[in-house]
Amino acid sequence: MTRRMVVVWLVLLVATVVSLSVEQGNVGAKVTGVVVTVIALFKVRLIGQQFMGLREAVRPLQLAFDAYVTVVAVVLITIQLAFA
């Protein structure tokens, strides 16, 4: 396991703890939903880049994955803000 993989793994672990602590906090449902969604999609992007090899992939594939994550984020956050 490379040093970079260990750092990414630790970032993923910290992001998980942060999302759990936000969920346990006394903030509103909308804020919690948006923050947890952003953290989850940040984790998706990190996993895609580091553990699925997208960091070394051709640029169009990287851009397509980033666009997918962005579209999913916008849709989920819009739904959460509209119905929470």
Per residue in 45-72, pLDDT (tens digit) is: 999 999 999 999 999 999 999 999 999 9
Which residue range forms the structural domain that includes residue 7? 3-83
User: How confident is residue 25, by pLDDT bands cut at 50, 70 and 90?
Assistant: confident
Q: How far apart are CA 41 and CA 10, in angstroms?
A: 16
Say what angle helices 59-83 and 29-50 make with each other, to 10 degrees: 170
pTM > 0.85: yes or no = yes
Tally of domains in the chain:
1
Which residues contact residue 65 at a Cβ distance below 8 angstroms, ignoring those fewer than 6 apart?
45, 48, 54
